[in-house]
Amino acid sequence: MDAKAMERWRETRARGLLRFLAIYGAAFGLAFFVVTDLVFPALLSEPRPDTATFVRDAAIYVFVLGPAFGGVMWWLNERAYARAQTASAAQASDGE
């Protein structure tokens, strides 16, 4: 993680996990829903699902899978951030 990415992540994490999940998790869930329930069926000439299935799928993707994906992304970014902090601290102590 370079210095610019570290600064961006520092700003993102200052806003908090819940906001991250609401923005990035829900956005991923919505994008995944659009691709899997709207684009693929149209490309494969499959019939559209009934309204109840459509709403159920949207809720699952946006409120379950999206935040789960966001949680994994948060965890991965935290790990990368911690490694980058350790590496920069080690470089700073080597320079002394």
Distances (CA, A) of 6 to 21, 39, 85, 87: 19, 35, 8, 12
**How confident is the model over 40-45, as a mean pLDDT?**
83
| pLDDT at residue 96, as a whole number | 60
Q: By residue range, what is the domain housing residue 81?
A: 3-90
Radius of gyration (C-alpha) of the chain in whole angstroms: 19
For residues 25-44, one letter each, b for 16 or more C-beta atoms within 10 angstroms of the residue's C-beta and e for the rest, the string is bbebbeebbeeebeeeeeee
Number of domains composing the chain = 1
Q: Is residue 85 part of a domain?
A: yes
In a domain, 74, yes or no: yes
What's the pLDDT tens digit per position in 1-37? 888 999 999 999 999 999 999 999 999 999 999 888 8
**Inside any domain, residue 30:** yes
Three-class SS state of 49: coil
pLDDT at 79: 96
Q: Would you give the end-to-end CA distance of the chain in angstroms? A: 23
Q: Is residue 64 part of a domain?
A: yes
Domain assignment present for residue 76? The answer is yes
Look at residue 40 in the predicted model and tell me its pLDDT.
84
In a domain, 96, yes or no: no
pLDDT digits (tens, 9 = 90+) for 52-64: 988 998 999 999 9
Residue 75 lies in a domain: yes
